[in-house]
Amino acid sequence: MAQKTQEKGVTGTAPVVDAPSNVRNVVLVGHSGAGKTTLVETLLASTGVISRAGSIPDGTTTCDHDPAAVKQQRSVSLACAPLEHDGVKINLLDSPGYADFVGELRAGLRAADAALFVVSAVDGVDATTVALWEECAAVGMPRAVAITRIDHPRADYDETVAQCQRVFGDSSSSSVLPLYLPLHNDAGDTVVGTVGLLTQRVFDYSDGYPPQVRDTDPEHAAAMEEARNTLIEGIIAESEDETLMDRYLSGEQLDEQTLIDDLETAVTGGSFYPVIGVCGDTQVGVDALLEVLTRGFPSPLEHALPAVTGVDGSPRDLLTCDPNGPLVAEVVKTTIDSYVGRVSLVRVFSGTLRPDTIAHVSGHGMAERGHPDHDADERVAHIYSPLGGELREVPYCIAGDICAITKSGSAETGDTISVKDNPLLMAPWEMPEPLLPVAIVAKTRSDEDAMAKNLGRLVAGDPTMRLERNAETRQTVLWCMGESHADVVLDRLRAGGVELSTEPVRVALRETFTSAAKGHGRHVKQSGGHGQYAVCDIEVEPLPCSAGFEYAVRVVGGAVPHQYIPSVEKGVRAQMERGMTAGYPVVDIKVTLFDGKAHSVDSSDAAFQMAGSLALRDAAEKGQVALLEPVDEVTVRVPDTYVGAVMGDMSSRRGRVLGTEPDNGERTVIRAEVPAVELTRYAVELRSMSSGAGTFSRSFARYEPMPPHLAEQMSKEAAER
């Protein structure tokens, strides 16, 4: 992939900064197809990082260097692309817009200090973008909006701004306002520049980039007067100077620099969200966007840092973004490169990361997703500045900056890197729960070994994927975020030389007795010499749900010697694990041993275990055995417009709706109980019926009897296996 970047023409060396005040970490957020990756290419080309912008259809963009991204024609992983403008280093973090890869977005939010929302002037704001805005609002991230494709024939800039105000802003819409207006040519069919509402200057791109700057023409005055007044009032409303509004209302002409300073303060504080129109092909608006990124967005010094503890959980003081402080950094992304091995994208929060040093790597709290707790001292040999898939070596990385390290033996996504003598642990960011199971099967034994090795690498780099080896169903299950995520994971496994296929996911069921029954177990074998002799009689009774297993003894007269009474229980338990009619474990029964026979020579522990097993099987033939299925408690969060469709779908899945309640905004939370066998593909189907805006969580509630016709079908499938 580095070769592809070189063909595109990377120019100059990687920018290196000495002060956190000269760094801006910005994550680009927006739905798939909004133009984030194209905008990054435009910014890189405009600032001279690359000689020409790459193309998504050609697979030559800087950030979409992953083969899966080239194949799907959209970003599938987080990528970093640094540039320099006016002495400030801007680390652009291009995040995927598709909902399957929200884990990459959250990693980007962790590494960034501000978010640039990218909205297409053609497609507008969709439900996914609104959900992503809420993700950023939840962590208090300063935000701005870049409206792309403003030169497209179907573009509607004014309507897109109005839509952003409706869904992103408050009730007055005064917090989401444009800083510039598009400037069209005389024919009115092409955007040739912008008009600055605060500067009252025209930025004309007719002759290319950079633009020609001049005073506004008289015909522009009427068009910009209302928008300028609205912008000024919006800035004043967020100003910390309480006298500013009175001065404005009295007719005083406020100083341009005063307004700009207040605007920057409001953006940094996360209470005002400027809108800038840009065009990737003609570079219209790029200079304005760069000004917002460097002057409006906060530096790492102005952004609160995550809490830290000792490796043992002991409390520690809050961090400060000080290059001279103790080293604390975090791995926000891990990839496996076929040439250099493991590559870790690292955000340094405190101290300075230098090459040829020994650092402590800690990872805790992700054991349930296949990431065991680990601590190790490792040597950091080299430090790189990542540019998409290319690594450019740098001498150091200070607090607030982002870099990459390679060949770490244990570093995984979410791990903390700190000084060896004082290891620390950062509070982890919230990872989304993968809810789409995919069962995979290796074709040969050699593929099984290769699959195990490659799965370990994938799990290390992708905390949104959970690996489950289900002993009951004897399946290897990958829990993914959705179909696209699953496709990427499977493609990466196959690229690692693994021949595999998928199969339907099986749900671990249970069996139980629904009526009392007696069973007789007789195990007698005599073939010369020492034989086997054991007879036992048991009574099986059903117990309430989740009651477990009870074993009672009602033997009189020593019919079963006391040393063999536990042997019968062992045999019963072993048969319960193997199942009765469909091969699923038996639960919630009481077994009472009430009679039996023994032989003074031929009876043994093994013989009575076999008799106990036979007795339970005999009871199952005489009584009634039912299949139990797991029922999950499901919480669905959807926009109000989809509530009816979701509740109807719940009914079709044999679900019981427990209730609904309003959520923040125009959303509703639906709580229901649904059999787990009906939820195998619910992650995909909910996204389809809610246009990508619905989310859900699930947790095990209990086991319940399965309807007879489904139980019969499951028993047949189990017999065929």
Per-residue pLDDT band for 134 (boundaries 50, 70, 90) equals confident
pLDDT at 5: 39
Question: pLDDT: is 355 or 458 the higher one?
Answer: 355
The pLDDT of residue 82 is above 90:
yes
> SS3 for 468?
strand
Q: Check whether residue 240 and residue 103 sit in a common domain.
A: yes
What is the Cα–Cα distance from 500 to 441, expressed in whole angstroms? 5
Per-residue pLDDT band for 683 (boundaries 50, 70, 90) equals very high
Range picked from 69-78, 137-146, 627-636 for highest mean pLDDT = 627-636
Q: Check whether residue 464 and residue 412 sit in a common domain.
A: no
Per-residue pLDDT band for 529 (boundaries 50, 70, 90) equals low
Exposed, middle or buried, 617 (CB in 10 Å: 0-12/13-18/19+)? middle
**How would you classify the pairing of strands 23-29 and 390-393?**
unpaired
Provide DSSP, 535-557: EEEEEEEE--TT--EEEEE---T
User: 44: closest CA among 80, 95, 74, 81?
Assistant: 81
| Phi, psi dihedral angles at 551 (to 5 degrees) | -125, 125
What is the Cα–Cα distance from 344 to 332, expressed in whole angstroms? 8
Mean pLDDT of 40-58: 91
How many other CB atoms are found less than 10 A from the CB of residue 473? Answer: 17
> SS3 for 601?
coil
Assigned domain for 448 exists: yes
Provide DSSP, 12-46: SPPP--SSGGGEEEEEEE--TTSSHHHHHHHHHHH
User: 409: closest CA among 429, 435, 380, 389?
Assistant: 380
| 8 A C-beta contact, residue 628 and residue 675 | no
CB under 8 A, 24+ apart: contacts of 130-133? 130/167, 130/693, 131/99, 131/692, 131/693, 131/695, 132/29, 132/30, 132/31, 132/97, 132/102, 132/105, 133/29, 133/167, 133/168
| 8 A C-beta contact, residue 499 and residue 605 | no
The pLDDT of residue 4 is above 50:
no
| Phi, psi dihedral angles at 288 (to 5 degrees) | -65, -40
The pLDDT of residue 415 is above 70:
yes
Q: What CATH number does residue 614 fall under?
A: 3.30.230.10
What is the Cα–Cα distance from 369 to 478, expressed in whole angstroms? 10
Tracing tokens 């973008």 back to the chain, one arrives at 129
Exposed, middle or buried, 477 (CB in 10 Å: 0-12/13-18/19+)? middle
Question: pLDDT: is 698 or 581 the higher one?
Answer: 698
Rg of the chain over all Cα atoms, to the nearest angstrom: 32
> SS3 for 185?
coil
pLDDT at 289: 95
The pLDDT of residue 335 is above 60:
yes
State which amino acid sits at residue 100. D
Per-residue pLDDT band for 3 (boundaries 50, 70, 90) equals very low
State which amino acid sits at residue 441. V
Sign of CA dihedral 602, 603, 607, 613: positive
What is the Cα–Cα distance from 315 to 311, expressed in whole angstroms? 10
Q: Check whether residue 159 and residue 271 sit in a common domain.
A: yes
Assigned domain for 243 exists: yes
Q: Check whether residue 98 and residue 185 sit in a common domain.
A: yes
Q: What percent of the chain has pLDDT over 90?
A: 56
Q: Check whether residue 176 and residue 281 sit in a common domain.
A: yes
Dihedral angle, C-alpha 505, 507, 508, 511, nearest 10 °? -130
Query: Crossing angle of helices 605-622/565-578, nearest 10°?
Result: 50
How many other CB atoms are found less than 10 A from the CB of residue 127? Answer: 19
Query: How many folded domains does the chain comprise?
Result: 5
Q: Check whether residue 176 and residue 201 sit in a common domain.
A: yes
pLDDT at 11: 60
What is the Cα–Cα distance from 216 to 220, expressed in whole angstroms? 6
How many other CB atoms are found less than 10 A from the CB of residue 507? Answer: 19
| 8 A C-beta contact, residue 389 and residue 2 | yes
Q: Check whether residue 47 and residue 126 sit in a common domain.
A: yes
pLDDT at 6: 39
Assigned domain for 431 exists: no
pLDDT at 370: 67
What is the Cα–Cα distance from 535 to 532, expressed in whole angstroms? 10
C-alpha dist (Å) from residue 99 to 127, 167, 414, 689: 11, 19, 20, 14
pLDDT at 135: 77
Q: What CATH number does residue 698 fall under?
A: 3.30.70.240
What is the Cα–Cα distance from 73 to 514, expressed in whole angstroms? 55
Sign of CA dihedral 346, 351, 357, 360: negative
Mean residue pLDDT across the chain: 89
| 8 A C-beta contact, residue 375 and residue 423 | yes
Sign of CA dihedral 644, 647, 649, 652: negative
Last residue of some domain: 598, 623, 648?
623
pLDDT at 652: 94
pLDDT at 9: 58
Mean pLDDT of 474-498: 91
What is the Cα–Cα distance from 505 to 525, expressed in whole angstroms? 42
Provide the total of helices (H) and of strands (E) in the chain, helices listed first. 17, 36
| 8 A C-beta contact, residue 412 and residue 461 | yes
Domain range holding 296?
A: 2-12+20-302
Q: Check whether residue 108 and residue 126 sit in a common domain.
A: yes
Q: Check whether residue 176 and residue 250 sit in a common domain.
A: yes
Mean pLDDT of 509-520: 95
User: 502: closest CA among 437, 567, 412, 446?
Assistant: 437
pLDDT at 460: 80
Assigned domain for 570 exists: yes
What confidence tens digit (pLDDT) does each residue in 216-227 have?
A: 888 777 778 888
pLDDT at 10: 63
| 8 A C-beta contact, residue 328 and residue 306 | no
Q: Check whether residue 29 and residue 72 sit in a common domain.
A: yes
Assigned domain for 608 exists: yes
Q: Kindly give, in sequence order, each residue whose CB lies less than 8 Å from that of residue 296, ignoring residues fewer than 6 positions away.
A: 144, 263, 264, 267, 268, 274
Last residue of some domain: 469, 503, 537?
503
Q: Check whether residue 104 and residue 6 sit in a common domain.
A: yes
| 8 A C-beta contact, residue 310 and residue 328 | no
Say how far residue 552 (Cα) sits from the centre of its chain: 50
What confidence tens digit (pLDDT) does each residue in 216-271 have?
A: 888 777 778 888 888 988 888 888 787 888 888 888 888 888 888 888 888 888 88
Last residue of some domain: 372, 391, 426?
426
Q: Kindly give, in sequence order, each residue whose CB lies less than 8 Å from that of residue 701, ignoring residues fewer than 6 positions away.
A: 630, 631, 632, 633, 673
The number of residues in the chain equals 721
Mean pLDDT of 520-525: 94
Q: Kindly give, in sequence order, each residue whose CB lies less than 8 Å from that of residue 127, ignoring residues fewer than 6 positions away.
A: 639, 690, 691, 692, 693
Give, as one character, the DSSP assignment of residue 99. G
Per-residue pLDDT band for 291 (boundaries 50, 70, 90) equals very high
CA 291-295-297 angle, 5° bins = 105
Exposed, middle or buried, 544 (CB in 10 Å: 0-12/13-18/19+)? exposed
How many other CB atoms are found less than 10 A from the CB of residue 356? Answer: 9
Q: Check whether residue 670 and residue 686 sit in a common domain.
A: yes
